[in-house]
Structure 1
Amino acid sequence: MQTRMNYRSVNPEAFKAMLALDHFASSRGIEPELYELIKIRASQINGCAFCLDMHTKDMLKMGGSIERAVLVSVWREAPCFNDAEKAALELTECLTRLPEAGVPQEVYDRARKYYDEKEFVDLIMAVNAINSWNRLGVATGMFPDI
């Protein structure tokens, strides 16, 4: 495989903007393992091998379990995720695949059961950040250094 371009060097201002978004999203108080699970799930959906590899390794380095990293793609059936995490992962999937009709009321209601208004917006920003990174990675042909 060959990377199409190095977006960091071609457009450092865009990279700096992405870092600012990422810093904002990561500093909002979302539990670190949940934040990694959000990034893993969105990266799976978007087919971003680079981000999937990086965030799975990041989660494991912080002490997350291999079971949760592997089972995040089937979180609905996996007992290792609590209801609040499931609500965040459902919101992640919905925002990543954004349906034409928007976020269904029941998805919003499930998330709001566990997250207040500020936390809900923080989750949206986390999903926005990883989706933006995924699109940069996929469009420029990034792949994991394995």
Structure 2
Amino acid sequence: MERITYQDIPGDIFKNLMQIENLINQSSIGIHLLELIRLRVGQLNGCAYCVDMHHKELKHLGETDLRLSSLVVWKETPYFTEKERAVLDFTEVLTRLDADSIPDRIFDPLLAFFSKAEISYLTLAIAQINTWTRLMKSFRFTPGNYQVNSHSGAA
């Protein structure tokens, strides 16, 4: 049961979060990679609403069932590119922050695929979906009801 419904949330919260979301979505990172990040963070944080949403968004974008079902064990599969692997490693470390800084062995592979500006957008995208998962888990939004529409990629 939802603790706080969409209608109960002050409009400025989602309005401002969506401004950041739109900024991220318009970056050169690409919506497919962003949705892969979002789904993985949803899995890591145990956010059923986010997993439902971003699974559906990726299906809409043409993602395969094999890769979707294997994302939770991506390190043990050959289905993800080196670029995706670098991003997924970074996503996991940034989502599971500890007291240490992000190690070079996680950060440096990103430099082969992204500019520093793009790494800034990646970092913001990971932080943003972590914000969304925390909101959804706190509010207990009901999973299963999300439907993809023309604004694909919204959190």
State TM-score, norm by structure 2.
Answer: 0.88
Relative distance call for 1:29 and 1:8 in structure 2 (3 A) is: farther
**Identical columns (%):** 32
Structure 2 residue matching 1:145: 3-state secondary structure: coil
Q: Which residue of 1 aligns with 2:126?
A: 127
What is the alpha-carbon distance in structure 1 between the residues aligned to residue 86 and residue 7 of structure 2? Answer: 34
Segments of 4+ in structure 1 off by > 6 A? none
**Is 2:18 the counterpart of 1:19?**
yes
Bigger shift: residues 31-40 or 6-15: 6-15
Bigger shift: residues 129-138 or 5-14: 5-14
Q: Which residue of 1 aligns with 2:8?
A: 9
- Please tell me the residue identity of whatever aligns with 2:109: R
Which structure shows the higher helix fraction?
Answer: 1
Q: Which residue of 1 aligns with 2:61?
A: 62
What is the alpha-carbon distance in structure 2 between the residues aligned to residue 8 and residue 91 of structure 1? Answer: 34
How many aligned positions are there? 145
Bigger shift: residues 27-36 or 134-143: 27-36
**Is 2:115 the counterpart of 1:116?**
yes
Q: CA deviation at 1:143?
A: 2.4
Structure 1 residue matching 2:76: 3-state secondary structure: coil
What is the alpha-carbon distance in structure 1 between the residues aligned to residue 66 and residue 33 of structure 2? Answer: 14
Q: Which residue of 2 aligns with 1:97?
A: 96
**Is 2:44 the counterpart of 1:45?**
yes
What is the alpha-carbon distance in structure 1 between the residues aligned to residue 8 and residue 15 of structure 2? Answer: 11
1:93-132 Cα distance to aligned partner (Å, 9 max, x none): 0111112102111111112222121111111111111111
Structure 1 residue matching 2:62: 3-state secondary structure: coil
1:12-57 Cα distance to aligned partner (Å, 9 max, x none): 1111111111111111121222111100000001111001001001
Relative distance call for 1:58 and 1:28 in structure 2 (3 A) is: same
State TM-score, norm by structure 1.
Answer: 0.93
Aligned-residue CA RMSD in angstroms?
Answer: 1.3
Q: CA deviation at 1:145?
A: 2.8
**Is 2:40 the counterpart of 1:79?**
no
Relative distance call for 1:99 and 1:80 in structure 2 (3 A) is: same
